Structure 1
């Protein structure tokens, strides 16, 4: 059996494909990589929040829908909460670090006033501004290696990226992990997702790669996001951690001036816990007179 894998052509995306390929090879499955350019790759100078939803996924998933590839491999945080109804998430690989990281010589609480911090995320931008309104936040686009190079070229004093990206690329950089209360991660950050067509029953063997705890965390986060109406380019962070049979969740919203954070701990089903956390955030925002 040979499986064609579609994914973005970025260095990080290829590393993630390599992770999936290694697991498939262990199952005796041959693979072929197909690199795809997405909207985000064509409009590299535009802030991500201006490009809309699905800018890292649509073109890749179209290869699967059109039969040009068997599966797609994504950073799960790039997937919209509502997939094309012809597709499904076949597997979620065991989660790497879900946290944000500040790359630079000092942590976010000690970096000098007026320092320039780079990020492509409206969520991170608003959290930084709320926490440290004396810093200058500057848009930062490009693949992770490009972002690091811009930092090394002194275009920024620090940048914020996903810790999982640093670890997957084995980057030799100085950084500090940001705590999830001040910087609640983007939904599904640190998770690699494998997407395929629902009609391709012969791909069911790929479900063996699914990690149950990761799937539960991802499900809770995606359901909370559906309730809140957030997305991968919204000022909302949602994070769940499964321990034993319980899910502990955090959801945060900030407009840069104010910040709302709510928490939940429950042993209910992931979809239910996610919905409850989403409703809890909306209720608290309503009480504070804040709308998205």
Structure 2
């Protein structure tokens, strides 16, 4: 029996199913362990007030304490520094990395004064930069909760990850947002499987589930984030795509009034390429007096 810990949300359970179905096909039984995180306990607080690791810490503790064998996360929720006892054992092939606007109208067609919901400072600042005449209000809750608030008319639109819509197989009208305008959060669209660092048997078991190109993109993005600083409490986005042996990356920062976007295309170690992009963005931020 392989025990898999994750949040109790519908999206988390769908992500766990990807991993458990893979293990079931190999002949292993699995057990889901639902865990409440700090983000769940303080569901009405803005994310930036809760600090780092609010979606992951309690879930990973189950693995550290031996109460679960694996933890499954949206990789964008993982802090840049995992516990010394843990490691990312596999990254599932990436789903869409893009943000979307769930609305009847696209970004530039929204009426002036429209209310748009998001819990992300990054999305808020990018939207405010593009449409300063739009009102952006905080929106917390699981995906189904956020969509219900939109369909009930509380918001003219909400910004969420396209991957969540695809994974939940939702039938709802939305517009994909250009990654130059809305550069995604690092590792958006990636499912990460976390386990004990020294558990080579589990690592080997997950080898066919692991997608190396996705992992390379993830490491490059996380390396950029290390340089700039980031996460769901920061107005910073980064996205890498590996094409053949080259990494193409973009990174953006905005305070709502100004926005900087830089790009890179390189061969090489993903961590090094990510660091180079981070330094490039940081240099431009200094030039524009945008150091947070």
Normalising by structure 1, what TM-score?
Answer: 0.98
Matches of 1:270 and 1:199, distance apart in 2:
23
Matches of 2:157 and 2:230, distance apart in 1:
26
Instruction: State whether residues 80 and 232 of structure 1, in contact with CA within 8 Å, keep that contact through their aligned partners in structure 2.
Output: no
Instruction: State whether residues 91 and 208 of structure 1, in contact with CA within 8 Å, keep that contact through their aligned partners in structure 2.
Output: no
Q: How much has 1:163 moved relative to structure 2?
A: 0.2
Q: How much has 1:212 moved relative to structure 2?
A: 1.0
Match of 1:84 in 2: 83
Q: How much has 1:259 moved relative to structure 2?
A: 0.5
Match of 1:284 in 2: 284
Q: How much has 1:231 moved relative to structure 2?
A: 2.2
Instruction: State whether residues 247 and 266 of structure 1, in contact with CA within 8 Å, keep that contact through their aligned partners in structure 2.
Output: yes
1:1-20 per-residue CA deviation (whole Å, 9 max, x = no partner) reads x2100000000000000111
Match of 1:106 in 2: 105
Q: How much has 1:291 moved relative to structure 2?
A: 0.8
Match of 2:244 in 1: 244
2:10 is equivalent to residue 23 of structure 1: no
Q: How much has 1:208 moved relative to structure 2?
A: 3.0
Match of 2:228 in 1: 228
CA RMSD of aligned residues (A): 0.8
Matches of 2:32 and 2:166, distance apart in 1:
22
Matches of 1:52 and 1:203, distance apart in 2:
31
Q: How much has 1:23 moved relative to structure 2?
A: 1.1
Matches of 2:66 and 2:186, distance apart in 1:
29
Match of 1:93 in 2: 92
Matches of 1:268 and 1:78, distance apart in 2:
26
Match of 1:156 in 2: 155
What is the correspondence of 1:30-49 to structure 2 with a 5 Å cutoff? 30-49=29-48
Matches of 1:149 and 1:210, distance apart in 2:
34
Instruction: Name the SS for the 1:32 alignment partner.
Output: strand
Instruction: State whether residues 187 and 232 of structure 1, in contact with CA within 8 Å, keep that contact through their aligned partners in structure 2.
Output: no
What is the correspondence of 1:155-194 to structure 2 with a 5 Å cutoff? 155-194=154-193
Structure 2, unaligned stretches of length 5 or more?
none
Instruction: Name the SS for the 2:6 alignment partner.
Output: strand
Normalising by structure 2, what TM-score?
Answer: 0.98
Matches of 2:23 and 2:107, distance apart in 1:
40
Match of 2:200 in 1: 201
Q: How much has 1:232 moved relative to structure 2?
A: 3.0
Match of 1:141 in 2: 140
Structure 1, unaligned stretches of length 5 or more?
none
